[in-house]
């Protein structure tokens, strides 16, 4: 009997179901063993997390076997010039929660896994945040976005920045980022006059990765002479002095600074008080660290929307008078604002505004004494954008 014969009259026949990769018997065995050992289905050490770990580690092992060209313990690998060399621990955030993986290595260091790439920390996509500083110096989260697990592309950043522009951010003077792929290109497309500033803290950290730990204090001291220079000419002279001292031992560090020099120097045009506001993405990193604490012990979320709801409520909870970074005014903001007005090549100075003039009536509102929390939902229009600065981070 065919499907069309068995289907009731007037109802379309259902297509044959695809065969599942895991049959019912295997699923029953796993569930029975988990129940016998008292293992929960969900959670950090739950059954789903363990299955995800086993499958990923098995797949990584097969990738290494394909890379080497012989199975583990196979005599054919003797004299091949490359072999297995243990494994490296790595924590990966997946839809089943955080999973601690053992990623295999080869002796030559030529193995590049594809399933879980080097540097990848999330498998299911991850959140990006934008924090805005309005004309009164008050910080507020402008939105949250989920990026693809393969990494953010220029197309992804274009959609994020276009949304912010459509919501009111008509111009951006300086964009401080930590080397995110595609972000500078997208920003210069949406805001042609934007100046890209590389996060100096990330540049210093990247420099120290090339060096032995015992040289870190000396390197940090010599690098400080570069990023605290009075102007670009003095910074260039400090870089040359640094190169004379360290290029023989660590040529990669000198090459790193010379390669990113154009993205490093914009903040040198400002006085020290203003530099502190634009030379690092630590503000967004601080918020991300707090959000990770909120999600770390939850294991997994039933959906992407559920995760965003938890993060949204966490931001609302953080944005009160006790939080040093979110929801209060930036220190020395008047000086910063004047410098931005001059730097923006003739831009008109922003007008004085009050909270009730640039908070949407339908935006979530929570009273903390005399303060009002102003976390804006993704669809809300932004406050007046004149002089607004925002920082992106992942």
Q: Which of 379, 317, 339, 330 is nearest to 142 (CA)?
A: 379
The model's confidence at residue 360, banded by pLDDT at 50, 70 and 90, is: very low
Tell me the whole-structure pTM to 2 decimals: 0.51
Share of the chain above pLDDT 70, in %: 65
Greater pLDDT, 153 or 101: 101
Q: Which of 224, 219, 329, 217 is nearest to 272 (CA)?
A: 224
For residue range 156-183, list pLDDT tens digits in order: 888 888 998 898 888 777 788 776 678 8
The radius of gyration of the chain from alpha carbons, rounded to an integer in Å, stands at: 26
Least confident of 69-78, 195-204, 317-326: 317-326
The model's confidence at residue 20, banded by pLDDT at 50, 70 and 90, is: low
The model's confidence at residue 270, banded by pLDDT at 50, 70 and 90, is: confident
The model's confidence at residue 308, banded by pLDDT at 50, 70 and 90, is: confident
And the tokens for 99?
């999973």
Task: Please report the pLDDT score of residue 43 as a whole number.
Answer: 60
Pinpoint the alpha helices (H) of 319-368.
333-343, 355-358
And the tokens for 10?
């007037």
Q: Which of 143, 164, 95 is nearest to 311 (CA)?
A: 143
Quote the CA–CA distance of 170 and 166 in Å, as a whole number: 8
Task: Using the Cα atoms of residue 77, residue 78, residue 82 and residue 83 in order, give the sign of their dihedral.
Answer: positive
With b for 16 or more beta-carbon neighbours within 10 A and e for fewer, the 232-257 pattern comes to eeebbebbeebbeebeeebeebbebb
The answer to whether the CB of 100 falls within 8 A of the CB of 155 is no
For residue range 280-307, list pLDDT tens digits in order: 666 676 777 777 777 776 767 777 788 8
At residue 268, does pLDDT exceed 80?
yes
With b for 16 or more beta-carbon neighbours within 10 A and e for fewer, the 304-336 pattern comes to eeebbeebbebbbebbeeeeebbbbebeebeeb
Task: For residue 238, give Cα distances in angstroms to 104, 247, 366.
Answer: 42, 13, 49
Extended strands (E) in the chain: 84-94, 97-106, 126-133, 139-147, 174-177, 195-198, 367-368, 371-372, 389-393
Quote the CA–CA distance of 256 and 376 in Å, as a whole number: 38
For residue range 255-266, list pLDDT tens digits in order: 999 999 988 898
Task: Please report the pLDDT score of residue 370 as a whole number.
Answer: 28
Task: Please report the pLDDT score of residue 240 as a whole number.
Answer: 96
Quote the mean pLDDT of the chain.
72
Quote the CA–CA distance of 169 and 180 in Å, as a whole number: 21
Greater pLDDT, 384 or 330: 330
Region class of 133: left (phi > 0), else alpha (psi between -120 and 50), else beta = beta
The answer to whether the CB of 107 falls within 8 A of the CB of 64 is no
Residue 138 per-residue DSSP state: B
Helix axes 154-166, 183-190, angle to 10 degrees: 40
Instruction: Specify the 3-state DSSP secondary structure of 98.
Output: strand
Residue range 318-341: average pLDDT? 61
And the tokens for 340?
């931005």
Instruction: Specify the 3-state DSSP secondary structure of 87.
Output: strand
Task: Please report the pLDDT score of residue 266 as a whole number.
Answer: 87
- Give the phi and the psi of residue 373 in degrees, each rounded to 5: -75, 135
Range from 9-18, 277-286, 333-342 that averages highest in pLDDT: 333-342
Greater pLDDT, 316 or 8: 316
Residue range 195-219: average pLDDT? 88
Task: Please report the pLDDT score of residue 39 as a whole number.
Answer: 72
Task: Please report the pLDDT score of residue 175 as a whole number.
Answer: 81
For residue range 85-135, list pLDDT tens digits in order: 889 888 877 766 678 889 999 888 888 888 787 777 766 544 556 666 666
Least confident of 30-34, 136-140, 320-324: 320-324
Q: Which of 168, 170, 169, 176 is nearest to 195 (CA)?
A: 176
DSSP 226-287: HHT-SSHHHHHHHHHHHHHHHTTT-HHHHHHHHHTHHHHGGGGGS-HHHHHHHS--HHHHHH
The answer to whether the CB of 207 falls within 8 A of the CB of 258 is no
Instruction: Return the C-alpha torsion angle 205, 207, 209, 212, nearest 10.
Output: -120
Quote the CA–CA distance of 136 and 107 in Å, as a whole number: 56
Quote the CA–CA distance of 69 and 80 in Å, as a whole number: 9
Quote the CA–CA distance of 176 and 364 in Å, as a whole number: 28
Task: Please report the pLDDT score of residue 152 as a whole number.
Answer: 62
Q: Identify the bridge partners of residue 106 per DSSP, sorted by sequence position.
A: 84
**Max Cα–Cα distance, the chain, nearest Å:** 86
């Amino acid at each position: 009997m065919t499907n069309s014969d068995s289907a009731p009259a007037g109802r379309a026949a259902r297509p044959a179901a695809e065969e599942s990769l895991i049959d019912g018997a295997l699923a029953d065995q796993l569930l029975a063993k988990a129940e016998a050992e008292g293992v929960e289905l969900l959670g950090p050490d739950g059954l789903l997390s363990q299955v995800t770990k086993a499958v990923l580690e098995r797949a990584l092992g097969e990738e290494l076997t394909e890379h080497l060209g012989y199975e583990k313990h196979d005599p054919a690998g003797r004299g091949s010039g490359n072999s297995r060399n243990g494994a490296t621990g790595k924590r990966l955030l997946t839809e089943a929660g955080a999973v601690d993986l053992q990623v295999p290595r080869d002796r030559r260091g030529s193995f590049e896994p594809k399933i879980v790439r080097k540097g990848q920390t999330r498998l299911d996509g991850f959140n990006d945040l934008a924090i805005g500083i309005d004309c009164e110096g008050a910080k507020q989260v402008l939105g949250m976005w989920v990026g693809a697990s393969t990494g953010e592309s220029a197309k992804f950043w274009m959609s994020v920045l276009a949304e912010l522009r459509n919501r009111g951010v008509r111009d951006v003077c300086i964009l401080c980022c930590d080397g995110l792929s595609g972000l500078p290109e997208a920003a210069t497309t949406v805001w042609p006059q934007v100046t890209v500033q590389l996060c100096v803290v990330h540049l210093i950290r990247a420099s120290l990765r090339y060096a032995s730990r015992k040289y870190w204090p000396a390197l940090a001291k010599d690098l400080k002479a570069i990023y605290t220079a009075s102007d670009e000419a003095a910074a260039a002279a400090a870089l040359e002095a640094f190169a004379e001292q360290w290029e023989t031992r660590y040529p990669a560090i000198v090459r790193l600074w010379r390669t990113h020099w154009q993205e490093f120097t914009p903040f040198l045009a400002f006085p020290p008080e203003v530099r502190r506001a634009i030379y690092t993405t630590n503000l967004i990193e601080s918020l991300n660290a707090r959000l990770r604490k909120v999600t770390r012990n939850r294991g997994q979320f039933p959906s992407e929307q559920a995760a965003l709801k938890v993060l949204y409520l966490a931001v609302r909870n953080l944005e009160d008078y006790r939080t040093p970074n979110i929801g209060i005014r930036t220190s020395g903001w008047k000086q910063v604002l004047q410098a931005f007005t001059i730097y923006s090549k003739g831009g008109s100075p922003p007008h004085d505004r009050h909270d009730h003039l640039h908070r949407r009536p339908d935006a979530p509102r929570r009273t903390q004494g005399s303060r009002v929390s102003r976390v804006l939902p993704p669809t809300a229009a932004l406050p007046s954008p004149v002089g607004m600065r925002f920082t992106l981070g992942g």
